Amino acid sequence: MVEGTQRRLAAILSAEVVGYSHVVGVAETTKGPTKDMSRRTWLTQVTAFSFVFYALVPTVFAQKRPRRVVEVRIKNRQVIAPATAIKLAEGDLVELRWKSDEQLELHLHGYDLKLVVLPGEPGVMAFRAFASGRFPITSHGWGDGGHGHEPLTYLEVHPP
């Protein structure tokens, strides 16, 4: 049984299908559907195998990436660390740890994440970087009620 399955799998991968006649142990190799198998059945099996194969390959060969932790500090309504945009790769698991000298509400555009950061207390945005692009991070409210229109910094997500 296992040997026959392995032979059929090898045949599908090499664009041939092994069909078995009604006599046990006799096999014939043909291109495309066999005498015992209709074209629809053959196409269904090949399609099903393709879906399973392509669904499993990324899972089996995917590299497990560690969580990317980025410490972000805001002082006098400006990001002082990191000095440049936050750069990530698509698929990264990200943890942005925010600290500020005054209360503010942060908004990461494109990912539609919001976070209220209190003075002296860390705030965390955790997410998977699923979309490539350059996304502004703005304040939608400072301690005195002011609304920042200019980006504090940018999140840059690059394709893998």
Note the pLDDT tens digit of each residue in 33-82: 555 567 777 677 777 767 666 666 555 555 567 789 999 999 998 999 99
Identify which of 118, 125, 71, 73 has the alpha carbon closest to the alpha carbon of residue 99: 73
Q: Three-class SS of residue 130?
A: coil
Domain 68-158 has CATH 2.60.40.420: yes
User: Pick the residue with more confidence: 85 or 47?
Assistant: 85
pLDDT at 91 over 80: yes
At 154 the pLDDT is: 95
Are 89 and 129 in contact by the 8 Å Cβ rule? The answer is: yes
Give the whole-number percent of the chain exceeding pLDDT 90.
Answer: 46
The rounded distance, in Å, linking the Cα atoms of 121 and 136 is 23
Residues of the chain with CATH 2.60.40.420: 68-158
Which residue spans within the chain are E strands per DSSP? 17-20, 27-30, 68-75, 78-81, 86-89, 93-100, 104-108, 113-117, 123-128, 133-142, 153-158
- Binned at pLDDT 50, 70 and 90, residue 25 comes out as very low
Q: Give the single-character DSSP code of 66.
A: P
Q: Give the single-character DSSP code of 111.
A: T
- Binned at pLDDT 50, 70 and 90, residue 148 comes out as low
Q: Is the pTM of this model over 0.75?
A: no
